[in-house]
Amino acid sequence: MYKKYEMELAGRTLRVDVDRVAKQANGAVLMHYGDTTVLCTATASEKPREGIDFFPLSVEYNERMYAVGKIPGGFNKREGKASENAILTDRVIDRPMRPLFPKDYRNDVTLENLVLSVDQDCAPELTAMLGAAIATCISDIPFDGPISTTQVGLVDGQFVFNPTAAQREVSDMALTVASTKEKVIMIEAGAKEVPEAQMIEAIFAAHELNQKVIAFIETIVAECGKPKHTYESFAVPQELFDEIQKIVPPEEMETAVFTDDKQTREENIRQVTEKLAEAFADNEAYLAKLDEAVYQYQKKTVRKMILKDHKRPDGRAIDEIRPLAAEVDLIPRVHGSAMFTRGQTQICNIATLAPLSEAQRLDGLDEHETSKRYMHHYNFPSYSVGETRPSRGPGRREIGHGALAERALIPVLPSEAEFPYAIRTVSETFESNGSTSQASVCASSMSLMAAGVPIKAAVAGISAGLVTGETDDDYLVLTDIQGLEDFFGDMDFKVAGTHKGITAIQMDIKIHGLTRPIIEEAIAATKKARTYILDEVMAKAIAEPRPEVGPYAPKIILMQIDPQKIGDVVGQRGKTINAIIEETGVKIDIEDDGSVSICGTESEAMERARRLIEIIVTDFEAGQVLEGKVVSIKEFGAFLEFAPGKEGMVHISKISKQHIKQVEDVLTMGDVVKVVCLGKDKMGRFSFSMKDVAE
């Protein structure tokens, strides 16, 4: 008999079934939130993986289309590679949980989350986050939980917890907060320029609700939790540290790591490692742990100098940003381009505009989101960090960084009615030494403005770091962390926004959570830095969006027709619309509501297509002057084509003011002539005249 636990969470029932399914996993729960159902399991290998110096945690969020009553598209008719949403959910589950596993643990751990059914008002992503934590907590896998996660929306100025589908549609904020019993351990947000103070209030309102869920989880663990298993520790022995410090004293390590040039520092560390390897040549046990020991020695050195001496590796002040540079239009012929440089981090962003029909179609579990008009893609080639490796396509990190920048810019984009384009920006990482994702926010903002996209405000991003001591009050927040400070520090707190407020947050930490003073200080530091970047760097490169799109970008004409006339424009099997496209070289998209988008690069051809469509959908009126091409000649007159599929006749008596014996005396096939509509004849047909056209 399985055990069932229930609590009311944000007005809906959260139910956890233990020992009902997947009993061979180390820990498993069947999660129910409303009618959303997710199977969450935690498994660990019996032995550590050999030859690695990291904790091998894998998180999988598996979407099944049957969960929303759909059969997957395509020929294969089964789910393929993970969707972008699934990958982003993997990351948001991983980030708060990874710091709570032992740092010296080397057993493989996999957290699997299988979405079985979806209630659109109860997010399966949130259900999986809670389930992954509970499954791990009740398992025998070492884990310093429990943790809980809450989503927060902002509707009509009020916070809404775990918002429904309708509330998400109108919310000004999509905030996700994970907490331990004492502290906040993960923050992720997208927002419509929400002020910093309001964001902080939302974070700790979520933290408060998380405490109720944690108390609920503790009840489950008390009754169902397994004793945690012992494991082989891979911590570096203290005696090895002692021997290393005899050979390489602390002051020598400080000299090696404290430089503003990444390549110089790496060369210094390589020489230190070689020196130690020679010294330990006869000690295989020490050699096996040498790389990890040198890493830990660097980490201790950097942390001590920052925290105690307020000295950063490149000599900057604690709140100082690295040298900045920005420029636009460095790439010819593209629709928009910009480059943003911060120290040894450099991003080039290219913007591309296209008709709305080029928007990305989404086939996922969210029935409300079927397409994506704005796409931000981020690339991270090996040369950007001075390495060589083959490109295997974007990994989870690249997808995550692209989504973060995309989320930061969506709030300032013009509506489709204001700017009827699909938009793609691509951030190419030319050089990387810390916080490329936020550099790509800056570069993308400028690239969009250079492309003539009328964004509502410029957006900048910056990252704050953290070094902590032995107590909660012993810490230092760093502005604009470089790679070394990210690797050896405790936090990467990325915040993007405008002058008005925050548009995106992503917080990664390596410790067991942050206190409110740390979060408030980090948000204040990023606000100050963001304002400086917007005013002193980006605005000097490009202050506002260009008034129109560039010469190589497609132009778009929007028009509205009677939906009943769509068939006339399209024609039988698309014959009419294809004829217009072939004649003018434009791209035409027609929506079911009668919205017509004409896209091209030559305004004359676009205007010609617009006139042809207008002729097709407008009934002829007496006195209307038109231009038509002779497509057929009969004894009694000539037939003219005014637009594909739209023809009329000029009687022989209406061709010329002089008497003619036959039509061919005046007209030949292909002639283009002006005519005036005379109205309908006795049979109800429209007739036209050439001779009555006003001179």
| Domain CATH for 630 | 2.40.50.140
pLDDT, residue 397, reads 92
Same domain, 535 and 648: no
Q: Rounded CA gap, 383 and 272, in Å?
A: 24
Radius of gyration of the chain (CA): 32
Taken in order 567, 573, 576, 582, the sign of the CA dihedral is positive
Query: Does the annotation place 486 within a ligand binding site?
Result: yes
Same domain, 480 and 339: yes
Same domain, 580 and 644: no
β-pair partners for 177: 150, 187
In this structure, are strands 637-643 and 625-634 parallel, antiparallel, or unpaired? antiparallel
Same domain, 377 and 352: yes
Write the pLDDT tens digit of every residue in 443-487.
999 999 999 999 999 999 999 999 999 899 999 999 999 988 998
Greatest alpha-carbon span in the chain: 116
Contact 450, 329 (CB under 8 A): yes
| Domain assignment present for 316 | no
Residue count (the chain): 695
Q: Rounded CA gap, 488 and 476, in Å?
A: 13
| Domain assignment present for 586 | yes
Number of structural domains the chain divides into: 5
In this structure, are strands 148-155 and 173-179 parallel, antiparallel, or unpaired? antiparallel
Looking up residue 168, the CATH number of its domain turns out to be 3.30.230.70
| Domain assignment present for 502 | yes
Q: Among residues 563, 589, 617, which one ends one of the domains?
A: 617
Looking up residue 242, the CATH number of its domain turns out to be 1.10.10
pLDDT, residue 258, reads 84
Q: Among residues 476, 506, 541, which one ends one of the domains?
A: 541
State yes or no: cis peptide before 644, omega within 30 of 0. Answer: no
Q: Rounded CA gap, 354 and 554, in Å?
A: 7
Residue 622 CB neighbours (<10 A): 11
Write the pLDDT tens digit of every residue in 220-270.
999 999 999 999 988 888 998 888 999 999 899 988 888 878 888 889 999
Percent residues over pLDDT 70 in the chain:
100
**Rounded to 5 degrees, what are φ and ψ at 217?**
-65, -40
Same domain, 371 and 456: yes
Write the pLDDT tens digit of every residue in 633-687.
998 999 998 888 888 889 998 888 888 888 888 898 989 899 999 888 777 777 8
Percent residues over pLDDT 90 in the chain:
69
Question: Which stretch of DSSP H or E encloses residue 130?
Answer: helix 124-138
Q: Is the pLDDT of residue 695 over 70?
A: no
Q: Is the pLDDT of residue 392 over 90?
A: no
Same domain, 561 and 527: no
Which residues does 681 contact at the CB level (< 8 Å), separation at least 6? 687
pLDDT, residue 381, reads 94
pTM: 0.88
| Domain assignment present for 460 | yes
Looking up residue 591, the CATH number of its domain turns out to be 3.30.1370.10
Same domain, 613 and 630: no
Place of tokens 């493989």: 108
Write the pLDDT tens digit of every residue in 270-306.
999 999 999 898 888 888 889 888 988 988 998 998 9
Q: In what order do the strands lie in the sheet with 345-355?
A: 324-328, 336-342, 345-355, 421-431, 374-379
Same domain, 332 and 399: yes
| Domain assignment present for 319 | no
pLDDT, residue 151, reads 98
Contact 286, 278 (CB under 8 A): no
| Domain assignment present for 695 | no
CA distances from 195 to 157, 220, 506 (A): 12, 38, 16
The number of C-alpha atoms within 13 Å of 484 and in the hemisphere containing its C-beta is 29
**Structure-model confidence comparison of residues 665 and 209, the more confident one:** 209
Range of the domain at 678: 625-689
What rounded mean pLDDT belongs to the chain?
Answer: 93
Of 17-31, 174-188, 582-596, the one with minimum mean pLDDT is 582-596
| Domain assignment present for 229 | no
Q: Which of 404, 413, 493 is nearest to 451 (CA)?
A: 413
State the DSSP code for 458.
-
pLDDT, residue 659, reads 87
Same domain, 194 and 264: no
**Rounded to 5 degrees, what are φ and ψ at 298?**
-55, -45
pLDDT, residue 261, reads 84
Same domain, 571 and 596: yes
Same domain, 501 and 353: yes
Contact 175, 136 (CB under 8 A): no
Q: Rounded CA gap, 459 and 501, in Å?
A: 10
Q: Among residues 201, 224, 247, which one ends one of the domains?
A: 224
Give the start-end residues of each E strand in 289-417: 324-328, 336-342, 345-355, 360-361, 371-372, 374-379
| Domain assignment present for 609 | yes
DSSP string, 390-449: ------HHHHHHHHHHHHHHGGGSPPTTTS-EEEEEEEEEEE-SS-HHHHHHHHHHHHHH
Same domain, 376 and 399: yes
